[in-house]
Structures are given as structure tokens and as C-alpha cells.
Structure 1
Amino acid sequence: MQKRIRPLIMCGGAGTRLWPASRETMPKQFLPLLGNRSSFQQTLLRTQDADWAGTPLIIANEAYRFIIERQLSEIDAVADLLLEPIKRDSAPAIMAGTLALSQDDAKTPVLVLAADHHVSDAVAFNSAVRDGLQAACDGWIVTFGVNPTRAATEFGYIEPGPAASGKAAKVRRFSEKPDPDTAARLIAQGGLWNSGNFLFCAETLLGECERLVPSSLSAVRAAVARSQTIAGARVLAADEFSRAEGTSIDYAVMEHTDRAAVVPVSCGWSDIGSWDALWSLSDQDDAGNVPRGEVALVDASGCFVWTNRQVTSLLGVHDLVVVADEDAILIADRNRSAEVKQVVQLLKSKGRTEASAHARVHRPWGWYEALDRGERYQVKRIVVHPGGRLSLQKHRFRAEHWVVVSGQAHVTVGEEVSILGANEHAHIPLGAVHRLENFGNTPVVLIEVQSGSYLGEDDIVRLEDIYNREAVPRSEAPSHLGEEARRDVGAAGS
């Protein structure tokens, strides 16, 4: 084995075709779609078990930092973290990750992996990576072409050409998502599905970026050079990174380079790009149904049903997707489920927050969700993970009352610190400095009742925060607040 390959795991994308389960605030790569682990975790475990792999570098938006760190800890995985201040698509992200990985050695082999893909045969995939390493070291940008099992129209295709190096062939051309007849013809001619995973030596990819997209590479190089390390994670400089063109690595490099090569693989790959794809990958009952959660099915077949809370019943229907989330329900023809993105776009045009945000809001310390809201009051369920600590804070416009449901909460109100268990409570008067901490080994669950003239999440004056969260700009504070209050308002969330 030559040098260890550094996996570069891409955690971008909102996964809107799996709405409402997948949304921008918690996209599909962090959801347990198949099994008990998210595809992000499965991707990490796949590299963790490989003999060729070095420490992964994860590149993701800053908003996902604490989700990533929690999911890393759940599988006892170690990785470096590079954070994007804004989304700029895959080309700038891959350039940034490659620059970061090449700082010690320009010849470092880099394996780009999408965090939201499924691979059922990790052994076969890892073998393909080994097959492609020689070509990568010889100056090729290797992509992995999946041997097709059907004439799929939702994937791009790769047409292999003559031998390149080792077991890799030159790429004759890339074909965008074809119609059914074209897909069948491409397969008959040896075409492969384009998996969107790549292997190359850092200097090769950066050399092609310098030739093909020099202005974007210059912007990304400056963003890496001016990056800052905050609480162990490297954050790209926002102004510089924003100057890079937001485009995919396929459009920026792969479709124009003469260094593209492909290694074929059969590994049970899927990009889980629709509810129909997830249905096909899931265990089905005798009628072809996939029930998730509290589901009752009578005379139903070929249906995918996912419910988080309420009992969901289907009678006399076939080939449907039914997804019942806390605040949104999708009912779709399973064969048209790839069109769900149109529903999301419609909801966004109507200004519906459900298009992008879940009812359950994730924070570094845990999560919360609103249960009820009315004139001058709001009720929330709050869960604080073991080791989680809300910021030391106060509110200018609301009082709060906490009732502990389970776990043991350390509650600070003013100068008093109390340890509260189930059925015990604390009152936080308006303006009182307070904090909740969980020093135990089980989650703390509590009900919070807020009352006051303004109940927005931005009515927080943060005095101390272990997660290094900054206050929001003054312009983002509620417009009706006084000038003094606007100076003190902190970032949304406790």
C-alpha cells in the first residue's frame, strides 16, 4: 500500500426530494434512513474500517457543526472539520478541502465521498478504491462508475474509453440524466452510472482547477489561507470564499479535463435521491409495503409510510408515499416522488417555514420543539443531551417556567443553583440570569412555558456560552425593540 488516502467527506445538500423528513435544518445525510445510523455515519464507518484510509476531513456548512460533532461521538469516530461560512456547491468545497489536505504534502491522495450516499457492499467499494489508487498517483482524476442494474434516468452516465492506468479507463465522455431510450443505449455500450465520488492526488486536482477555473481557485485559496480555528474546527474566511463561483465539480472540472478516468464498481450504491429509491432499498412486507413508525395497512400495496408520532392508516391504496412529520404531511404517487422538490418550491413561494425548517430545532446542547402558542404564551418541549449546557442568559421580554419530566437538571436562577428531578420545577422571572446544565448520563427532558410581550428566539442576552456562539447583528434583532435592547439581543436559540 502506498500513502494513506485522506477521505474528504462532503456534507452539503439539503435533500429536498426527501421532504418533509429531510429539510435544510436537518438534511438527509444526518437522518437514519436505512438502519440505525445516518448515511453520514455509515460513510465514516466505511472509511474507518478500510486499511487505506487516513483521518477523514469533513467539509460542511457551519450550521451543521454540532450535528456532525454529536454524530461523530455516537460512533466513536475521529475526523478533522472544515466549515463553510456560505454554501457554494461542490467545486469550491472540494477545492477548499483539497487545499487543506495538501498543505503538508501536495501528493496526498484524496478520496471525495458524498455523505448522503448509500453503499451496501463496503468491501467491494473499498476494493475499487484500491484499484483506482495507481491511476490517481499517476496523475488521473478517478471517478467511480457504478455498473447499472436498470436504465435509470435520474443518474448521469460515464462512457469508458481505453485504458488509463492500472484498472482505470479513460473517460470518453459524461452524459447528463438521459431519457429512457438513451439510458438503455448507454448501458448497451458499456455506460456506467456516475456516482459522484472521486479519487486523485491533491496536486492533480488543484492543477486542473488552476487551468480551468483559476479565479475560483484563487478565491478559495485565500479563504483557506485566512481561515480561523474556532473550538477545534477550521472556518473558511467568508468574504474570500463568497467570491468563488458556486458550481459543481462536474461542470467546473470533470467535463473539461483530459485527466478523467473511471473505475467500475458493483457495491449496492444509491444516492437515495427520492422516496421511491428509499422504498426500493428498504425491507418490504409481503405486499411490498415499507412501514416506519405507528402504521396500519389494510388492502394496501407498494406503499412507503413514515410517521414520527401519530398513527397513520392506509386503506385500499397502492404505490403511495405517505410521510407524516410533526408539522407537515406528504402524500405522493411513489412513481413521481422524485418531483417532491416542486412541492418544496411551492411552499417556499408561499413563505412557509416548513419548506426548510423542522418543528424540532437542533442546538449544540440538544433540541426543542414548540407544542403550543397563543397570545403572550408559548409551550416547548426541551431535551438537553448528557453534557449539554444552555448558555448563561437572560431575557428582556419574557419569563419562563421549567418543569422537569425526566433526568436530573442543574438549574441556575440568579445566585441560586438547584438540582431538579422529575416533577420538580423552576421559575425564571423576567430579566433573571439563568442556565440549565445536564451533568448526568441520560437526557434531561423538560416542559418550558414562556409568557411575555415578545417570545421570539432572538430575545436572548447571552452572558456566557461554551459553544462560542456569537450575538446576531443588531439589524437582525426585532424591529420593535428599543435601541438598548437591540444591542443586547443574542443569537436565536438558548
Structure 2
Amino acid sequence: MLHRTIITPVILCGGAGTRLWPLSRKSLPKQFVPLIGGKSLLQLTLERVRPLGPNLMVVTAEGHRFMVADALQRSPGAAQVILEPVARNTAAAMALAALLSAQNGEPEALLLFCPSDHHIPDAVAFVSTVEQGVPAAESGAIVTFGIVPSSPSTAYGYIEHGASRAGQALAVERFIEKPNADKALQLLLSGQVLWNAGIFLCRASALLQALQQHAPDILASCREALPAPVDPATAEPGTHWVAPLPGAFAACRSQSIDYAVMEHHAHVAVVPYTGAWSDVGSWNAVAELTPADAEGNRVQGQGFVPLSRDTYIHAPHRPVVALGTQNLFIIDTPDALLVAHRDCAEQVKDVVAQLESLECAQAVIHRKVARPWGWYDSIDIGERFQVKRIGVKPGAALSLQKHHHRAEHWIVVKGTAEVTRGRETFLLSENQSTYIPIGELHRLRNPGKLELEMIEVQSGSYLGEDDIVRLEDTYGRVPATQ
């Protein structure tokens, strides 16, 4: 293709990723976890789609706004980010993006909808495959991209295809639910199926017409929820944030685009993708990303596998020894450990649901928690005390706040801290410290160009995160958690 068609990638960045617990949790879903080469799946997705066009969209949960912002800073270019107040599945997410494209004055723009949590190592092959779907998409079809199956997998849905439709796109005969093992083998042997990757290319107007035909209630709710357009004269360059109206969007029906549209729509085509692909949807899939030794063992980090076979260890923080084991996953994190048989990978999400029902905090949040200004890691806690490591990004600041029940001791271990305490403001350098009494107004800011890291020792009768009274906050947060 001599002249590359401009495509607007739309990154679908929802999902809880509970099948990769304890590494992935609701507060830090798998697309934000640095799984591959120190990069997150979202970061790799942004790098993969940037060559397709100068602009992109991201649809994500409002609570993940600042993690998306971090990823976008590492992938320069214009972006619009739609912040869903509640999760309503892919049909609503895609509807919002298509409506926003029309609102931008681009109803005929080609939109490429991509999950944020897939691993596709060959970006050139991916872009080439997407371009093969352009003729069919420009003719009005919704084009999906199917993975040429390498095994009779029961973990994916299938697409049965027919003859060529437009260019290198094939006609879609039907979508098939995740099959059992016998059915999966039968499908594979037919030679007429692809794995359903959940990647779509279409004109914004074609998707809106399909939604109007098959899911008009979802489209109506999303149209009502989309806020009025921003005046281009006042819009800032770079990332633009779009916040759907919470009440209208909460009323939207939750359904996947497959059920809402694709299984019923007449104008659907599929393009096969022959390159390497993984939805990184289970620990089996994660393990496959690491080369195996002669005994089938795979190790990430400080794992040791004497006399073991077919064992996968993820141990980035400390030595983990699996002695004489077979067919196990061992996933070690600072506050939770998973040991599971390989055959039980799909049941991890059920265990997480059980832990959540028991109000186990580790089911939802990590010990290390991302914040818009940086992060904190609760490294020790006991009766009337808690110790945290705190990292603050260059130029960032915590809110101006006070606590009713705890005092704090701050020790700078890296960088420079600007401390506001009561009426005074002063600087602390490495190895210096200060004390914040109970009830004292205070703020921490990083005035430098390097990350600030400090140790905070809290002491008092109550140490909950809700003991924060904010007076000023850069990030527009209401008085709640830090």
C-alpha cells in the first residue's frame, strides 16, 4: 500500500484482569502491569498502533485515569480519553468512541478498536494486517480480525469464515462460543475457523448504524451520556479528557459488542492474522511468554526449580524455590502468594471472587498503590503505627491536608522534598527528616527533576486512609482516600 490510510485507533482499556491475580487486581488491572520487558500491555499497545494515525482514543475507567495518563506520556501524540464512570462492556465503550468521532466532525473516520491487554510482538505484521481490512471497512462493513489457530483451544471464541469478500477480507458465516475440547478439535480440523480476537475496524457511521439497528437502547444511553463538545479555541493540545454523564451512562445496558451487534449484523467481514498473538488471559498464557528449560520449567525473577518439571515461577522480589514440583504456577507478590495447578488457571477468577466476598483487601488492591502524584507502598503495619515508602513524581504534589488521629514522621531517602507545615514551607534533602503533628496542615511536593522517595512513619489511634481532610488538591479529588 503506497498511500497509508489514516486510521484512528481506539484502545479499549477496561476489565479487571482477575485471572492474573495476585499480580493483576481491580486497582491495577493486567493492562497496567509491567509484564513484558518492563513495559505494560497498554504501553505496548500504544506503541503498536501509533503508526496508523496521528490521533487516538482511549476508553477507560475513571479510576484508572492517572495510570492511562502515565502511559500516554510515554507515547507522545494527540489523544482523547473517555472516562467511564461505571463499566458497561464493549458495546457501550465502542458506541461512545463512535459518537465522539462524529461529534469531532469525523463520522466517516475509520476506527480501529483494540483491547489494551493483548500481546502482539510483531507490530509491522499487525499494521499490515489492519491495512488489509481497509477496503472492506471503507465499503461499510465492520471488519474483525481473527487469529489463525495454533491449537484446539477452549479459551477463545471462534469465527467461521467463508469466501473472500473485499480485498483480503473473508465473509463471516457465524460466531461460535468458547467450545468444549471435542468441539474445538472439530473446528480446528475444518480449516474454516479463526480465534475471535475482539479487534474491529469500521467507519464510525457504520458502527452507529449497526448499533441503531441491533442495540438502539445502548446507543441512546451513550448519546445522552456524552457531554457537549469542547470549543476547539479553548481546547488544550495533547490529551483531552471526556467524562460521560454518570447518571445517563449508569442507565446503559451492559453487553459485549459480539452479543449486541456482531452476531446479528449482515455486513461483517474478517481478516486472518497469522503472526504471534496472546490475549494474556491466564497464567498459562503468561507462562508461554517465557522460554522453557529442558524440563519445561519457566522462571521470571528469583525462581529456582530443582528436580521440577513444567513449573512456572514469577518471583520478582525474593527467592522462591520449587523443589520436585510438577505442573504448578507459583506467583509471588509482596502481600499475596498463588500456588495453582496448571489445569486450574481458569478458576483463579473464582478464587478472587471468594476472597472479595470475605473482604480480603488483597483481592482488590496491591500493597503498592498508584496515585496521581506517584505511589505509596505500605511496608509494615502494627498496633498504632504504619510505615510507608512514598514516591512523588517530579513537579507533583500531594494535597494540602491534615489528619485528626495520626502524626507523621518523614525521612527523605532520595531527591528533594518541599514541605509545607502549618505556616512554614522549607526544603529537605536526602537523609533529612521532619515531623507533622496531629491536626497540622501539611503538604509534600517534589520541586526537583528526579523522583522523590521518602519513608513515612505514621503513629496514632487510627491510621485509615479516610482520615484525610483535604483543603486543596491539584487533581480535583473529594475528601476520601489519599
Please indicate the TM-score interval, normalised by the length of the shorter structure.
over 0.9
CA contact (8 A) 1:308 1:326 kept: no
CA contact (8 A) 2:309 2:325 kept: yes
Runs of 4 or more, structure 1, over 6 Å off, are: 227-231
CA contact (8 A) 2:145 2:198 kept: yes
Change (3 A) 1:333 1:227: farther
C-alpha separation in 2, matches of 1:35 and 1:310: 19
Report the alpha carbon displacement of residue 349 of structure 1 after superposing the two structures with TM: 2.2
What amino acid maps onto 1:382 in structure 2?
I
Q: Does 1:409 align with 2:449?
A: no
Q: Does 1:447 align with 2:450?
A: no
Local SS of the residue matching 1:33? strand
Local SS of the residue matching 2:305? strand
Report the alpha carbon displacement of residue 42 of structure 1 after superposing the two structures with TM: 0.7
C-alpha separation in 1, matches of 2:222 and 2:76: 31
Kindly report which structure 2 residues correspond to 1:242-257, keeping only aligned pairs within 5 A, or say none: 242-257=250-265
C-alpha separation in 2, matches of 1:76 and 1:8: 16
Change (3 A) 1:233 1:373: same
C-alpha separation in 2, matches of 1:126 and 1:432: 56
Local SS of the residue matching 1:25? coil
Local SS of the residue matching 2:318? coil
**Paired position in structure 2 for 1:43:** 45
Report the alpha carbon displacement of residue 27 of structure 1 after superposing the two structures with TM: 0.7
Q: Does 1:144 align with 2:152?
A: no
What amino acid maps onto 1:110 in structure 2?
L
CA contact (8 A) 1:304 1:321 kept: yes
Normalization by structure 1: what TM-score? 0.92
CA contact (8 A) 2:290 2:299 kept: no
C-alpha deviations, 1:32-64, integer Å up to 9, x for none? 22222111111110112x2x3231101100111
**Paired position in structure 1 for 2:53:** 53
C-alpha deviations, 1:85-136, integer Å up to 9, x for none? 1111111111001111222121110000000001122222111111101101
Structure 1 unaligned residues grouped into runs of 5+: 472-489
C-alpha separation in 2, matches of 1:324 and 1:132: 42
CA contact (8 A) 2:305 2:311 kept: no
Normalization by structure 2: what TM-score? 0.94
Report the alpha carbon displacement of residue 379 of structure 1 after superposing the two structures with TM: 1.7
Local SS of the residue matching 1:113? strand
Local SS of the residue matching 1:269? coil
C-alpha deviations, 1:235-281, integer Å up to 9, x for none? 11101111110111111111111111101111211101111111112
What amino acid maps onto 2:110 in structure 1?
P
What amino acid maps onto 2:72 in structure 1?
L
Q: Does 1:468 align with 2:467?
A: no
C-alpha deviations, 1:66-94, integer Å up to 9, x for none? 01111222344542211101111111111
**Paired position in structure 1 for 2:177:** 176
What amino acid maps onto 1:252 in structure 2?
A
What amino acid maps onto 1:405 in structure 2?
V
C-alpha separation in 1, matches of 2:45 and 2:399: 33
C-alpha separation in 1, matches of 2:468 and 2:134: 52
Kindly report which structure 2 residues correspond to 1:99-114, keeping only aligned pairs within 5 A, or say none: 99-103=99-103, 104-114=105-115
Change (3 A) 1:281 1:308: closer
Report the alpha carbon displacement of residue 296 of structure 1 after superposing the two structures with TM: 2.4
Q: Does 1:282 align with 2:290?
A: yes
What amino acid maps onto 1:291 in structure 2?
V
C-alpha separation in 1, matches of 2:395 and 2:300: 31
- In percent, how many aligned pairs have the same letter? 43
C-alpha separation in 2, matches of 1:291 and 1:64: 30
Report the alpha carbon displacement of residue 174 of structure 1 after superposing the two structures with TM: 0.4
Local SS of the residue matching 1:119? coil
Query: What is the aligned counterpart of 1:299 among 307, 311, 315?
Result: 307
C-alpha separation in 1, matches of 2:4 and 2:304: 54
Query: What is the aligned counterpart of 1:205 among 204, 207, 216?
Result: 207
C-alpha separation in 2, matches of 1:307 and 1:227: 47
C-alpha deviations, 1:288-328, integer Å up to 9, x for none? 32222222221122221112423211111122110111111
Local SS of the residue matching 1:225? coil
Structure 2 unaligned residues grouped into runs of 5+: none
**Paired position in structure 1 for 2:431:** 423
C-alpha separation in 2, matches of 1:388 and 1:324: 31
**Paired position in structure 2 for 1:96:** 96
Query: What is the aligned counterpart of 1:26 among 8, 28, 39?
Result: 28
Change (3 A) 1:64 1:319: same
CA contact (8 A) 1:44 1:77 kept: no
Change (3 A) 1:77 1:37: farther
Report the alpha carbon displacement of residue 172 of structure 1 after superposing the two structures with TM: 0.2
Change (3 A) 1:369 1:2: closer
C-alpha separation in 1, matches of 2:99 and 2:173: 28
Q: Does 1:68 align with 2:68?
A: yes
Change (3 A) 1:77 1:33: farther
Q: Structure 1 stretch 291-300 or stretch 254-263: which is displaced more?
A: 291-300
What amino acid maps onto 1:139 in structure 2?
G
C-alpha separation in 2, matches of 1:422 and 1:297: 40
C-alpha separation in 1, matches of 2:163 and 2:206: 20
C-alpha separation in 1, matches of 2:323 and 2:447: 48
**Paired position in structure 2 for 1:167:** 168
CA contact (8 A) 1:6 1:101 kept: no
CA contact (8 A) 2:401 2:472 kept: yes
CA contact (8 A) 2:227 2:243 kept: no
Report the alpha carbon displacement of residue 148 of structure 1 after superposing the two structures with TM: 0.7
Report the alpha carbon displacement of residue 2 of structure 1 after superposing the two structures with TM: 6.6
Local SS of the residue matching 1:79? strand
Q: Structure 1 stretch 217-226 or stretch 143-152: which is displaced more?
A: 217-226
Q: CA RMSD in A?
A: 1.7
C-alpha separation in 2, matches of 1:191 and 1:464: 57
CA contact (8 A) 1:227 1:237 kept: no
CA contact (8 A) 2:95 2:222 kept: yes
